[in-house]
Structure 1
């Protein structure tokens, strides 16, 4: 776990001052957001009115020269492209010379680019950073589970706004992927126990590595474990042993071939618990294929599982595409 200075992350996206600009650059850089999404326009406006290199220097200190970048850096290629763009902005503004900017680019150009992995870091409102080792490619080793998806970021934001559903509870996460949502919940929401789960061997290994990377494996509170949970073979006995009060899943509705197993598992989770205290079950999805998502909902209904669509804004904490078709539902019987 690393700590970063973090301003109020609930501010609207408009950059009102230099603090907002610095924060916007820092958040986007460590999450390896697409370069066009950075607040370049606001930077242009600031450096046009002030020909000093102070703001560019501060951006450099909060990104490529920040201690977190030394410990868990974005890819060499990404840093090279970022610094190249920053230099273009600096030169176009005819600002004061800034040797450290070119020194930083020189250091990056002298580094080997060859890697299939990268670190992405996501800033929390408390000032901590969640750093995850992810794959550069969206699909690798036969899975899409080695990267963090928008729905996981949304669910993490929703959890931060609804901490009472996790505080002092046992939480089971289905399809944990790289662990972003669960680590955010463990860091900020105070669960008594958190069970990460997945079934793909490469995803499970990387998940364990990321949990340990963020200092959770050695903690006693909350109690944290990573389980190999196969949706097709999971038994009611296993689920009773976990005893989850809250169950979450994100981006698990993407393949028509596995929807049946997922719905049966959700049915077991809802039915094997005490009727007096059923778990709160939430599923968050990016709706890429409406037919697949509607099939999921129909199968829920056929199994006697009802759902409510949860709406309403969430605090903006992480950078991701907010125009994506995201939907969150709560399940019950």
Structure 2
């Protein structure tokens, strides 16, 4: 039956269900907090229907999805997620769902590790899958997890694709690679240079960029998703750029038209090195420079802006909403600035 043959309220119910399943999938693969899932809708369906069809559909979009088989969220997260569904089903005296308990048995028998996969769904339907550290601070660095400002910058890029199309882009402090991979997948840059200085970050970054997401000089298609596309493939590299010792020769060879960085202003000493590097980047070329920051400490962030001014670098805040593509905590203050000389 075609949806247009249904009553308006029936079409609305189908559309609501489609959105709910999409929400469960998006939140699950990004390992969002369990209490942010649309449990009320699921609970209402459980209590008003004798079947477990919606629960099974949720499972198919999460734990039983092929993406979960390839890039599973952490064992602990999947255990909490499945336990929450079971708790609500049992409270409604529903018939046990074999697939649900089989999935729980699988994670109960799985071994916990210090790494996990997170996958962020793009508007195109593709997934950016990343291997991240379970701990916020690991191997002496915070660069092994995805931070809010990186997600915000990726959303801004999706809204302003023309800024990156057919241009050479340098990302400073790429971390696990979310922002850059999103831009390579969706914004058609001519060249994209990921960079960091920490050895363990660079190792994981290369793994995420090339192995998990299939980026290269000739192929930007995810290995887990087949997509027909005619968009040009960017030349991609991962380079070591030490902010205190990067040479003018290295910066000139990169020849960036656009420079971006997210969540790099978190320490006064790091900010000093960053400003010196930005000053040199702006002197060897004339790129557009965008810095996105979660403002956790006003004194540190204000000090960064003062150092920019002292170095003859002006800035302006980029205001206005961005499309909400990725799930993350939007309570924190995030500011994005463009730099000028």
Shift of 1:285: 0.3
Extract structure 1 runs of 4+ deviating beyond 3 A: none
Mapping of residues 1-333 of structure 1, within 5 Å: 17-113=16-112, 115-212=113-210, 213-217=212-216, 219=218, 221-273=233-285, 278-333=286-341
SS in 2 for 1:196: strand
TM-score, with length taken from structure 2? 0.90
**Does the Cα contact within 8 Å between 2:217 and 2:234 map onto a contact in 1?**
no
Shift of 1:84: 0.4
1:3 match: none
**Structure 2 unaligned spans of 5+:** 1-13, 220-232
Shift of 1:16: 7.0
Shift of 1:237: 1.9
Shift of 1:48: 2.7
**Does the Cα contact within 8 Å between 1:159 and 1:185 map onto a contact in 2?**
yes
SS in 2 for 1:17: helix
**Structure 1 unaligned spans of 5+:** 1-14
Larger RCO of the pair (alpha carbons < 8 Å, separation 6+): 1
Q: For residues 20-62 of structure 1, what are the alpha-carbon distances to aligned partners after superposition, in whole Å with 9 as ceiling and x for unaligned? A: 1111111111111111111112222333333321111100010
**Does the Cα contact within 8 Å between 2:157 and 2:183 map onto a contact in 1?**
yes
Q: For residues 191-223 of structure 1, what are the alpha-carbon distances to aligned partners after superposition, in whole Å with 9 as ceiling and x for unaligned? A: 000000000000000000001110003636210
**Root-mean-square deviation (Å):** 1.3
SS in 2 for 1:89: helix
Distance in 2 (CA, whole Å) between partners of 1:287 and 1:42 is 35
Distance in 2 (CA, whole Å) between partners of 1:300 and 1:97 is 61
TM-score, with length taken from structure 1? 0.92
1:10 match: none
